[in-house]
């Protein structure tokens, strides 16, 4: 049997891998600008964490978790999303008391046993942001603005921001009955899993991948209490001030159980059926329900794989070496290796193939490398203590410089 990667899991080869790195770098810059600090949480947690936080009526927990019993007999799960781990870490490390501002970001791989298709993988990368301890609409507007800036900084364009409010527990208590009555009247249109879960969580049906789109169009709408309506309209005012464009869509419900109040998604029609680039919202009750202090919170996560799909036609970050070192004679290998070391020590990216190969083969590798200059040491150069500098991308005079001057000479030419 030949070894191969699992369905839904994939290798990220260059130059796609460079695309991921550039997205992550853009995100780190934006997070620094907004006062977010990195929080790294484990990939595997107690299964119960996700059952409680993500919610036992979600597709993620019901069908998609990689969960198993470990050697110690504990029920554990590989994280399907980042928010539960961040909330657990916040509570366990008492970050409400000891942390700086409650703003955390993470970059990491998540795992969901979904049916693989374009833009949907079983292992995928998320960049996420969570702000814990700020209940005001300023936090909503700030985090959505930051998300839009991150997409811009990474080079992703053509997306739309969709916004809704799911209200507080009080708003939803009244809505629950109305919606449940509607769903009971329409059980014939429900899929089997929804039939089994509407009594526990009727809103989940609106987000169901199978019957959700039809139901969400026609279902009765939630009406917000005055406090939630005020929060939602203030959030929109503040988004207008920061110049973020959005559309309110009252059928947006999101597929995780912890959401309250503001929820949002960023979508791109260029992605096809898996059009969500980002999802997020408030989860004002989660920290307390997980055993922590009463701390309102809001966050989001972007799918890096989907961002990379949107960037695919743009040129990947140039990471070719600046110089390529060539030994044109066997005896020149030692000097060539010392020069390679000196170039890198001077901060000039440099590469080589194998100083024991023929000049022709080394020059072929030099051309393929994308380097600007080949630095060649042959018998003559060895005697004279020099190096021949050849422009690779354009034709030009080959010149000779003293070997000791090569790093500064090349630096000068590269910045010219």
Write the secondary structure of 54-80 as one string of H (helix), E (strand) and C (coil).
CCCCCHHHHHHCEEEECCCCCEEEECC
Site for ligand HAM contains 124 (CB under 6 A): yes
Site for ligand HAM contains 121 (CB under 6 A): yes
Name the residue with the smallest CB distance to ligand HAM: 303
How many residues bind to ligand HAM according to rule CB under 6 A? Answer: 24
Judged by CB under 6 A, the stretch of 116-124, 242-250, 308-316, 383-391 that binds ligand HAM is 116-124
E strands along 136-220, which residues?
160-165
Of 183 and 309, the one with the shorter C-beta distance to ligand HAM is 309
Query: Do strands 123-132 and 103-111 pair parallel, antiparallel, or not at all (unpaired)?
Result: antiparallel
How far is it, in rounded angstroms, from Cα 342 to Cα 403? 10
Site for ligand HAM contains 204 (CB under 6 A): no
Site for ligand HAM contains 253 (CB under 6 A): no
User: Whose structure tokens read 């009594």?
Assistant: 199
Query: Do strands 123-132 and 260-267 pair parallel, antiparallel, or not at all (unpaired)?
Result: unpaired
* Beta-bridge partner residues of 67: 77
Query: Do strands 350-351 and 323-327 pair parallel, antiparallel, or not at all (unpaired)?
Result: parallel
Site for ligand HAM contains 277 (CB under 6 A): yes
Task: Report the candidate in 185, 221, 230 with the shortest Cα–Cα distance to residue 203.
Answer: 221
Of 120 and 413, the one with the shorter C-beta distance to ligand HAM is 120
Site for ligand HAM contains 142 (CB under 6 A): no
Cis peptide upstream of residue 15 (ω within 30 degrees of 0):
yes
* Beta-bridge partner residues of 265: 162, 279
Site for ligand HAM contains 276 (CB under 6 A): yes
Of 202 and 299, the one with the shorter C-beta distance to ligand HAM is 299
Site for ligand HAM contains 112 (CB under 6 A): yes
Nearest distance from residue 6's CB to ligand HAM, in Å?
14
User: Which of 52, 103, 197, 306 is in the footprint of ligand HAM by CB under 6 A?
Assistant: 306
**Biggest CA pair distance of the chain:** 93
How far is it, in rounded angstroms, from Cα 270 to Cα 268? 5
- Residues 76-95, one symbol each (x = binds ligand HAM by CB under 6 A, - = not), give -----xxx------------
Site for ligand HAM contains 305 (CB under 6 A): yes
Residues that bind ligand HAM (CB under 6 A): 81-83, 112, 114, 120-121, 124, 126, 128, 130, 256, 276-281, 299-301, 303, 305-306
């Amino acid at each position: 049997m030949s070894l191969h990667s699992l369905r839904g899991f994939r290798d990220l080869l260059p130059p796609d891998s460079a695309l991921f790195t550039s997205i992550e770098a853009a995100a780190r810059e934006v997070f620094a600008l907004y006062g977010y600090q990195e929080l790294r949480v484990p990939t595997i947690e107690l299964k119960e964490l996700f059952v409680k936080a993500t919610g036992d009526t979600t597709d993620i927990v019901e069908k998609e978790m990689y969960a198993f019993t470990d050697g110690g007999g504990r029920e554990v799960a590989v994280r399907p999303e980042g928010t539960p781990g961040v909330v657990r870490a916040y509570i366990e490390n008492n970050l409400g008391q000891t942390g700086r501002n409650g703003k955390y970001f993470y970059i990491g791989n998540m795992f969901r046993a979904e049916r693989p298709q374009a833009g949907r993988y079983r292992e995928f990368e998320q960049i996420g942001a969570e702000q814990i301890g700020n209940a005001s609409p300023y936090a909503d507007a700030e985090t959505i603005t930051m998300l839009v800036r991150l997409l811009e900084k990474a080079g992703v364009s053509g997306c739309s921001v969709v916004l809704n409010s799911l209200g507080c527990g009080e708003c939803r208590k009244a809505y629950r009955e109305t919606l449940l009555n509607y769903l009971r009247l329409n059980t014939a249109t429900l899929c089997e899993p929804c039939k089994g879960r509407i009594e526990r969580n009727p809103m989940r049906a609106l987000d169901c991948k199978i019957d959700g789109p039809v139901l969400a169009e026609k279902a009765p709408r939630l009406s917000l209490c005055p406090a939630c309506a005020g929060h939602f309209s203030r959030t929109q005012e503040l988004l207008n001030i920061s110049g973020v464009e959005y559309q309110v869509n009252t059928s947006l419900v999101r597929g995780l159980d912890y959401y309250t109040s503001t929820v949002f998604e960023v979508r791109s029609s260029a992605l096809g059926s898996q059009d969500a680039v980002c999802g997020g919202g408030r989860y004002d009750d989660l920290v307390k329900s997980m055993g922590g202090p009463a701390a309102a919170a809001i966050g989001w996560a972007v799918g890096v794989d989907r961002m990379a799909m949107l960037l695919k036609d743009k040129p990947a970050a140039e990471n070719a070496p600046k110089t390529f070192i060539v030994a044109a004679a066997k005896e020149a290998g030692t000097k060539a290796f010392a020069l390679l070391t000196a170039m890198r020590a001077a901060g000039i990216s440099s590469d080589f193939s194998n100083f024991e190969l023929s000049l022709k083969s080394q020059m072929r590798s030099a051309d393929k490398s994308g380097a600007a200059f080949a630095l060649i040491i042959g018998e003559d150069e060895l005697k004279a203590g020099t190096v021949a500098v050849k422009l690779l991308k354009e034709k030009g005079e080959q010149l000779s410089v003293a070997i000791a001057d090569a790093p500064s000479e090349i630096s000068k030419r590269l910045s010219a």
